C-alpha cells in the first residue's frame, strides 16, 4: 500500500507519519517511511532536495522549480517507492505529486496540464490513499515560527500559502476517492486515530 500525507506548513505531518509507522509495525507490517522532495534511500533525490529548498535561492524560475521536483520524484520512485511496493511493504510518504499540483500548478500558477505533463511518470504510480491535513495558513506558519531553519517555501508570503491551500481543497474535490481531508485544528492524537481507522479499513 502506498500512502501519502499532504498539507501546508505546520500541519504536523512529520509527527503523524511517525505515529502511523509505529502503529503499523506493531501490527506486523513492514513499513518504509520516506519524503519529498528527496527520498530517504535515494541520494540523488536528496541532493535535488538540498538544492530546491535552499533559502538562498529566492529567485529560482518557477519552471525550473517544477522540473526539479519532477526529476527528484522520478528517481525517488525507481529507487524507493516502486521496490518497496513490489515487496509488499507499506510506503508512507511525506508529500508526493499533490504537493507539486498545489504548490506549482496552483500557487505558482503553472496550471495543472503543465505540472501533470512533466510528472507523467509519477501518474503511473498514484497513491492508494492520501491524507490532506487542512489548516488556515496563518495558523500553520505561526506553528513553525520557532524553527531553527526555514526553507525557501517557508519564507513565501501568506498569500502564496493561501493559494496552496486553495489548490489542495480543489484537489480534494477532484480526487475524493483517494484524498481524505482532515481538519488540522484537531490534536495530533485525534488526527492519528482518524488516519489509523481509515488505513485499517482499506487494508
Q: How does pLDDT run across 180-197, given as a tens digit for each residue?
A: 999 999 999 999 999 999
Dist CA 69 CA 115 (whole Å): 10
Dist CA 190 CA 183 (whole Å): 10
Q: Which residue has the cell 518504509?
A: 32
Dist CA 13 CA 134 (whole Å): 11
pTM above 0.95, yes or no: no
Mention every residue, 6+ apart, whose C-beta is less than 8 A from residue 44: 72, 75, 79
* Fold (CATH) for 2-202: Rossmann fold (3.40.50)
Q: What is the pLDDT of residues 79-92, one digit of tens each?
A: 999 999 999 999 99
% residues pLDDT > 90 (the chain):
78
Average pLDDT, rounded, for the chain: 92
Dist CA 28 CA 30 (whole Å): 7
What is the structure's pLDDT at 158?
87
Q: Are the C-beta atoms of 10 and 182 separated by less than 8 Å?
A: no
What is the structure's pLDDT at 148?
56
What is the structure's pLDDT at 154?
64
- The domain segmentation of the chain, as residue ranges, is 2-202
Sign of the C-alpha dihedral computed for residues 108, 185, 95 and 97 taken in this order: negative
pLDDT at 65 over 90: yes
Q: What share of the chain is helix, strand, coil (3-state, %, to 5)?
A: 55, 15, 30
What is the structure's pLDDT at 169?
97
What is the structure's pLDDT at 119?
98
Sheet holding 31-35, edge to edge: 31-35, 90-94, 2-7, 129-134, 179-183
Number of CB atoms found within 10 A of residue 78's CB: 16
What is the structure's pLDDT at 26?
97
Q: Which residue has the cell 538562498?
A: 56
What is the structure's pLDDT at 7?
94
Q: How confident is the model at residue 54 (pLDDT cuts 50, 70, 90)?
A: confident
Q: Coil, strand, or helix at residue 119?
A: coil
Looking at per-residue confidence, does 64 or 151 come out higher? 64
Q: How confident is the model at residue 39 (pLDDT cuts 50, 70, 90)?
A: confident
Q: Which residue has the cell 535515494?
A: 42
What is the structure's pLDDT at 139?
86
Q: Are the C-beta atoms of 65 and 117 separated by less than 8 Å?
A: no
The grid cell for 115 is 505540472
Looking at per-residue confidence, does 39 or 88 come out higher? 88
pLDDT (mean) for 6-22: 92
Q: What is the pLDDT of residues 124-156, one digit of tens each?
A: 999 999 999 999 988 877 776 666 555 667 667
What is the structure's pLDDT at 55?
80
Amino acid at each position: 500500500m502506498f500512502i501519502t500525507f499532504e498539507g501546508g506548513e505546520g500541519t504536523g505531518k512529520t509527527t503523524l507519519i511517525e505515529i502511523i509507522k509505529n502503529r503499523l509495525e506493531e501490527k506486523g507490517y513492514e513499513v518504509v517511511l520516506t519524503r519529498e522532495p528527496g527520498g530517504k534511500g535515494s541520494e540523488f533525490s536528496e541532493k535535488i532536495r538540498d538544492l530546491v529548498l535552499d533559502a538562498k535561492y529566492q529567485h529560482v524560475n518557477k519552471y525550473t522549480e517544477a522540473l526539479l521536483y519532477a526529476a527528484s520524484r522520478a528517481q525517488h520512485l525507481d529507487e524507493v517507492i516502486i521496490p518497496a511496493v513490489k515487496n509488499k511493504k507499506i510506503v508512507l510518504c511525506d508529500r508526493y505529486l499533490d504537493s507539486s499540483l498545489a504548490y506549482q500548478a496552483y500557487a505558482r500558477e503553472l496550471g495543472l496540464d503543465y505540472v501533470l505533463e512533466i510528472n507523467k511518470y509519477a501518474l503511473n504510480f498514484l497513491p492508494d490513499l492520501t491524507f490532506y491535513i487542512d489548516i488556515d495558513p496563518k495558523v500553520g506558519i505561526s506553528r513553525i515560527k520557532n524553527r531553527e531553519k526555514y526553507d525557501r517555501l517557508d519564507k513565501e508570503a501568506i498569500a502564496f500559502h493561501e493559494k496552496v491551500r486553495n489548490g489542495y481543497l480543489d484537489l480534494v474535490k477532484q480526487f475524493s476517492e483517494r484524498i481524505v481531508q482532515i481538519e488540522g485544528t484537531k490534536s495530533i492524537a485525534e488526527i492519528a486515530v482518524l488516519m489509523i481507522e481509515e488505513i485499517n479499513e482499506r487494508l
